[in-house]
């Protein structure tokens, strides 16, 4: 438990909390995607997986580039988050996931979105969309 706290503190100090949240979201969604109907597992499931990994990839890229280039990566991440919300809503409307999974996955996405919004705000950009 103590090691986990130290690890989380180091992550916060390095401003990588968003990466931990993205990893948590990906792990949760992979479990959901495995339980989708067979045809949808390979259609919408594959699109969601690609989008999730793009969120992670672009967040990692943004943490490695100059500050003035980060906005481009953050906007890509933001568009993928929006795409994820739409896909989750489609899965819920088709009753492929229940309400509890729908709400929790949206909650995880919302946390990522709030952190992303804070990162964009920290860049000092007034109008980023």
What does the alpha-carbon distance between residue 44 and residue 29 come to, in Å, rounded to a whole number? 12
pTM: 0.83
pLDDT of residue 10: 47
pLDDT of residue 84: 97
Q: Stretch 99-103: mean pLDDT, rounded?
A: 97
Residue 51 and residue 92 in contact, taking contact as beta carbons nearer than 8 Å: no
Asked if CATH classification 1.20.1440.60 holds for the domain at 22-121, the reply, yes or no, is: yes
Q: Which two tokens stand for residue 23?
A: 């990893």
Q: Stretch 80-104: mean pLDDT, rounded?
A: 96
Q: What is the mean pLDDT of the chain?
A: 88
């Amino acid at each position: 438990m103590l090691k986990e706290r130290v690890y989380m503190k180091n992550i916060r100090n390095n401003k990588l909390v968003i990466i931990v949240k993205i990893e948590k979201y990906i792990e949760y969604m992979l479990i959901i995607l495995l339980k989708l109907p067979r045809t949808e597992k390979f259609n919408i499931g594959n699109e969601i997986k690609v989008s999730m990994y793009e969120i992670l990839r672009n967040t990692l890229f943004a943490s490695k580039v100059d500050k003035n280039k980060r906005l481009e990566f953050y906007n890509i991440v933001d568009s993928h988050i929006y795409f994820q919300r739409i896909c989750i809503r489609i899965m819920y409307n088709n009753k492929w996931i229940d309400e509890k999974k729908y709400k929790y996955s949206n909650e995880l996405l919302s946390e990522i979105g709030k952190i992303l919004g804070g990162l964009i705000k920290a860049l000092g950009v007034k109008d980023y969309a």
